Structure 1
Amino acid sequence: MTTLTRPQTAEASAAKPRQGAVLRTPTDLQGAATRDIAAAMNGVLADVFALYLKTKNFHWHMSGPHFRDYHVMLDEQSDQIFAMTDPIAERVRKVGGTTLLSIGHIARNQRILDNDADFVEPSDMLAELCEDNKTLAARLRAAHAVCNESQDIATASLIENWIDETERRTWFLFEAVRPGDSSGR
C-alpha cells in the first residue's frame, strides 16, 4: 500500500532555509550599483505585476456601449505589460541581484494601488489605468537615472523602450476617455 504525504504548508516551506550556493551572478558593477539597480528594478517589477493584474481585472469586468473596443484594448495592453516581467527580472539577475520572490514581496514593493471594487464604471477604469501608467513611467524614469549613475547601459536601454510603450498606453487610455469635440478640431 502506498502512503501519500501531504505537501508542505507555506509556513513550513518559508521557515526552512534554502540550501545551496548564494545567487551572485558575476558582474563588473560595484556592490552598491548592484544593490541600487536591483532595488529600483524590483520596484518597477512590482508595479508592472500590479498594473498587469489591474489591467486584466478591468479587461475581464468591462461593460457598456464601448465594451468590445475597450475589452480588446485592455487585452492588448495587458499582454504588453506582462511581456516586461521576464526581461526586468532577468536584468536584475544579470547585474548580480535577486528579484521578487512572491506575491507578498510584490505587495510590499508596489506603488500602483489595487482596485478590488465589485463594479467600476468603464470611464473610471480607463482613467485609473491612465494614471497608473503615468506612475509607472515616473518609476521607470527614476530607475533609468539609477542605471545611468551606475553606467548600466543595457538596463537603461530597455527602460527607454518601456517608457515609450508606457507613454503610448497612457495616450491611448487618455484619448479613449476624453470627451468628444464637436467642432472637428
Structure 2
Amino acid sequence: MATAELRDALQSVLVNLLDLQLVGKQIHWNVVGPNFRDLHQNLDEIVDIARRGSDEIAERMRALHATPDGMAATVAKYSKIEQPINTEILTTNAVDMVVKALQTTVGVMREVHDPVDEADPTTADILHEYIAALEQQAWFISAETRKP
C-alpha cells in the first residue's frame, strides 16, 4: 500500500507525463520551418513515451492502492511544464521548448526518485526506464540546433 508521500510523488510524475503529451502534440501540430518533418515525427515518439509512462505510473499507483488523478484541471494546476504559445512555432524555437519540457519532466522524476526508491524500489525501476528514455529524446532533439 502506498504511503501518502509515495502517492504524492507518483501523482506529480503522472501530471507532468500527461502534460508532456499535451505539450508535445501542441508543438507537433504547429511546428514549421527547417527540419520540420524530422522534428514533427520525433515529437510523436516523445508523446508515445509519455503516454506509455503515464499509463504505467497510473497503473502502478492502482497496484499500490493509490488513486491517480489525470483530470485536465489537475494537470493544468500542478504541471511544472512551461506551456507553448498557441501559434505556429519555428522549429528552432520548438526544439528549445521541447527540450525544456523534457528536462522539466525528468527533473520531477529525479526529484522524487530517492523517496520513491526508499518506499518502493520496484516503482523506482519504472522511473529509471522513463528517465533514460526522456533524456535520450532530449539529446536527440537538442542535437537539431547544437553547434560542435
Indicate the TM-score class for this superposition, using the shorter chain for normalisation. over 0.9
Partner of 2:144: 176
Q: Deviations over 1:71-99 (max 9, x none)?
A: 11111221111111111101111222111
1, 10, 16: which is aligned to 1:47?
16
88, 93, 98: which is aligned to 2:62?
93
Q: Which has the higher helix share?
A: 2
Partner of 1:112: 81
Distance 1:176 1:77 in 2: 15
28, 48, 62: which is aligned to 1:59?
28
Structure 2: runs of 5 or more not aligned: none
- Aligned amino acid, residue 159 of structure 1: L
Partner of 1:5: none
Give the alignment's TM-score, normalised by structure 1.
Answer: 0.75
Identity, % of aligned positions? 28
Give the alignment's TM-score, normalised by structure 2.
Answer: 0.92
Query: Are 1:121 and 2:90 counterparts?
Result: yes
Equivalenced residue count is 148
Partner of 1:155: 123
Structure 1: runs of 5 or more not aligned: 1-26, 28-32
Task: Report if the CA contact (8 A) 1:47-1:110 is conserved.
Answer: yes
Distance 1:170 1:176 in 2: 10
Task: Report if the CA contact (8 A) 1:50-1:113 is conserved.
Answer: no
Instruction: Assess, with a 3 A threshold, how the Cα gap between structure 1 residues 101 and 166 changes in structure 2: closer, same or farther.
Output: closer
Task: Report if the CA contact (8 A) 1:50-1:112 is conserved.
Answer: yes
Distance 2:125 2:5 in 1: 17
- Aligned amino acid, residue 140 of structure 1: M
Q: Which has the larger radius of gyration?
A: 1
102, 106, 110: which is aligned to 1:141?
110
Task: Report if the CA contact (8 A) 1:126-1:177 is conserved.
Answer: yes
Distance 2:70 2:141 in 1: 31
